[in-house]
Amino acid sequence: MNIEMLNGVGPKSALLFKKIGIFTVEDLLEYYPYRYNFINLINFFDIPENEVVYLKVKVAREAKVMYIKRNFNTLSFTAIVNDININVKIFNRGYLKQNIIVGKYLVLVGKYDKLRNTFIANDIRFDGVENKIEGIYHLTDGINNNFLYKTINKVLTDDYLIKDELPEYLNKKYKLIKKCDAINLIHNPKSQNDIDKAKVKLIYDEFFNYTFKINLLKINNKKELGIKHNFNKELVNEFLSELPFKLTEDQLTTIHEVLNDLEKESRMNRLIMGDVGSGKTIVAAVGILANFYSGYQSTFMAPTEILANQHLDTITNLFKDLGLKISILTGSLTKKKKELIYESVKNGEIDLLIGTHALINDNLSFKNLGLVITDEQHLFGVNQRNALQNKGKVLKPDVLYLSATPIPRTYALTIYGDLDLSMIRTKPKMRLDIITKVKSEKEITDVLYKMLEEIKLGHQIFVVSPLIDNNETDLKSVYLLLEKLNLAFKSKVNIGVIHGKMKQKEKDEIMNNFHKGIIKILISTTVIEVGIDIPNATMMVIFNAERFGLATLHQLRGRVGRNDIQSYCYLISEKDNDRLKVMEESSDGFYISEKDFEQRGQGNLFGIEQSGELLFKIADIKRDSKILISASNDSKEFIITNMYKDYEYYKNLEKEILFLD
């Protein structure tokens, strides 16, 4: 049911709800508190020194507001508790004055200073607070905790039907409570025990459903017969020996794994993970070549048009004189050109078709597709994995995924559990590490100086200014930065701005001008595409770096250092600088993502925020690893024994995941 159907949720709040990922009533119910406040009203005589307490008081005298300076005021009043008068003070809440009504009860949240007989409040609650446990939710401007909580509870008291899809025998096995009780308790717990019971159920369910999909894919893939590629190894080796560089150890291992997979009868489903620049393209190219020598067509899908064109250049160059016919298919081609390509792909005149998502098109069919390669900058969801593979019609092509987002092995094994994994960790020797420095804002002149130096050398610079909410105030900060930089460089440097609220056409134009070198400094928010390659960019400056996880910073940093000139990355931050030091020390994406995982957990790993599907709402792979293992074993058994065929819900999941109709 759509969220707008709820009483009390108008179109305006519906938009706000959508902003935090709540589209339906189900989403709302599964929007769980991320922590709880344990509210215990305290007895005045028991107040400990220096601890935040909840104290119920009666207002004795009207409040006074003192305006100290702009943006700073104090509100104070006298209150009575246990027949004793105390002073109450709260900062910057002048607007509460009218709500402090003599004779009324309210609850102060804060610390009591005995010596001065003054309660320094950080919050005042007017809503009849009782002893209770209060869920705290992630919010957005315009939706406060109370409104969210009330909306959720309205649905709950309306007896909205919450179905428990988990097979009953599993609920019994682990003595799990019913789903509807779990949802109720997670929002309205009476004790820590309530929270624990609810969590176990919800975490288990979440893992069970996820691993059901993963295991289903995996079992299905293993059963599926693919193409047994038969190629001349001599020819492939010849190609390898003629490369202008020596392959790294990990590249060799990975190439070996790919060729092995191709030769086998079972279908290849392999993910190659490695930092930008670790040399994944060459591995993909070897796969394409072996596939060509076996007499099949290949297709290579890139996330953006720019990247598709880059791949076209690189691969055409690599395959000179080898006789492959290569073509490109992107959305910007004319209808006529597209049709010509469809035609020649169908006839088998094209051996390799490179492209963007335009490749996922019903009009495109291959004569004999043998290998599908997907180069995704981001993590991709389990639901999307099969879209291109189905192009194979009778014979199922082998599939290779490339990912430039290194993630910890334990994590990868879960979310990519249906795929075989290759990791390219070692980097080609010739690549220079990007010199990284963490700076405070006080040291900004160092940064500006360095920027000027790079500009004078004819290089280009990325500046990233993060947005929290992508709202107007945030955007102002981007333009403020533009102003400051213009001031610093006396408007002599061409600076461009790009952000998510621009129209695609505007964005393309700015990107083009940066690509061409007309724009020297590009200020962007993080919403822009990651995959752009500007070899001439040698410097990355990231403001408010503390707002990013290490893995994200590493991804951003990867946009520079793409040629053999020394590149730099400056992280500007006022806090958290110790955490950021990891970036100065390491350029190994796997190491950094492990650190990030340790520090902040899975939710913040790069890309996961963007593809909501991957984000577990309550489960945490690291913290809940035991539940994960049980759930995964159970879902496997559930599939192998064909028990799932008795459940409508799981049969539908199967259809969705395997693209059955």
| Beta carbons within 8 Å of 658's beta carbon, 6+ residues apart | 216, 217, 220, 386
- Of the candidates 254, 278, 567, 573, which one interacts with ligand ADP according to CB under 6 A? 278
**CB of 331 vs ligand ADP, minimal distance in Å:** 22
What does 226 bind: Mg ion, ligand ADP, none (CB cut-off 5 to 8 Å by kind)? Answer: none
| Beta carbons within 8 Å of 233's beta carbon, 6+ residues apart | 259
**CA 632 to CA 264: how far, in whole Å?**
27
What does 330 bind: Mg ion, ligand ADP, none (CB cut-off 5 to 8 Å by kind)? Answer: none
Q: Which CB atom, from 37 or from 316, has the smaller least distance to Mg ion?
A: 316
Q: Which CB atom, from 310 or from 471, has the smaller least distance to ligand ADP?
A: 310
Q: Decide: residue 576, CB within 10 A, 0-12 exposed, 13-18 middle, 19+ buried.
A: middle
Does 274 participate in binding ligand ADP (rule CB under 6 A)?
Answer: yes
What does 294 bind: Mg ion, ligand ADP, none (CB cut-off 5 to 8 Å by kind)? Answer: none
**CB of 262 vs ligand ADP, minimal distance in Å:** 19
| Beta carbons within 8 Å of 345's beta carbon, 6+ residues apart | 297, 327, 353, 364, 365, 366, 367
**CB of 272 vs Mg ion, minimal distance in Å:** 10
Q: Which CB atom, from 391 or from 562, has the smaller least distance to ligand ADP?
A: 562
- Which positions lie near Mg ion, rule CB under 5 A? 281
Tokens of 451: 């920027």
Q: Which CB atom, from 267 or from 378, has the smaller least distance to Mg ion?
A: 378
- Report the relative pairing of strands 84-91 and 72-81 from DSSP bridges: antiparallel
Q: Which CB atom, from 281 or from 587, has the smaller least distance to Mg ion?
A: 281
CB 608 within 8 A of CB 576: no
What does 34 bind: Mg ion, ligand ADP, none (CB cut-off 5 to 8 Å by kind)? Answer: none
What does 274 bind: ligand ADP, Mg ion, none (CB cut-off 5 to 8 Å by kind)? Answer: ligand ADP
- Report the relative pairing of strands 72-81 and 53-59 from DSSP bridges: antiparallel
Q: How far is CA 559 from CA 537, 608, 630, 643, in A?
A: 8, 19, 40, 48
- Of the candidates 21, 94, 417, 428, which one interacts with ligand ADP according to CB under 6 A? 428
- Of the candidates 94, 277, 381, 603, which one interacts with ligand ADP according to CB under 6 A? 277
| Beta carbons within 8 Å of 181's beta carbon, 6+ residues apart | 198, 201
Does 587 participate in binding ligand ADP (rule CB under 6 A)?
Answer: no
**CB of 374 vs ligand ADP, minimal distance in Å:** 13
CB 593 within 8 A of CB 554: yes
- Of the candidates 221, 269, 281, 436, which one interacts with ligand ADP according to CB under 6 A? 281
Phi/psi-derived region of residue 282, left when phi > 0, alpha when psi is between -120 and 50, beta in every other case: alpha
**CA 580 to CA 544: how far, in whole Å?**
11
Segment near ligand ADP (CB under 6 A), from 216-224, 274-282, 502-510, 596-604? 274-282
| Beta carbons within 8 Å of 148's beta carbon, 6+ residues apart | 31, 137, 139
CB 312 within 8 A of CB 326: yes
Does 253 participate in binding ligand ADP (rule CB under 6 A)?
Answer: no
**CB of 22 vs Mg ion, minimal distance in Å:** 36
Q: Which CB atom, from 283 or from 447, has the smaller least distance to ligand ADP?
A: 283
- Of the candidates 226, 279, 406, 607, which one interacts with ligand ADP according to CB under 6 A? 279
Q: Which CB atom, from 166 or from 328, has the smaller least distance to Mg ion?
A: 328
**CB of 425 vs ligand ADP, minimal distance in Å:** 12
**CB of 274 vs ligand ADP, minimal distance in Å:** 5
**CA 497 to CA 462: how far, in whole Å?**
10
Q: Which CB atom, from 159 or from 321, has the smaller least distance to ligand ADP?
A: 321
**CA 76 to CA 64: how far, in whole Å?**
5
| Site map 208..247 versus ligand ADP, x via CB under 6 A | -------------------------------------xxx
Q: Which CB atom, from 13 or from 403, has the smaller least distance to ligand ADP?
A: 403
Taken in order 9, 12, 15, 19, the sign of the CA dihedral is negative
Residues that bind ligand ADP (CB under 6 A): 245-248, 251, 274, 276-282, 404, 428, 430
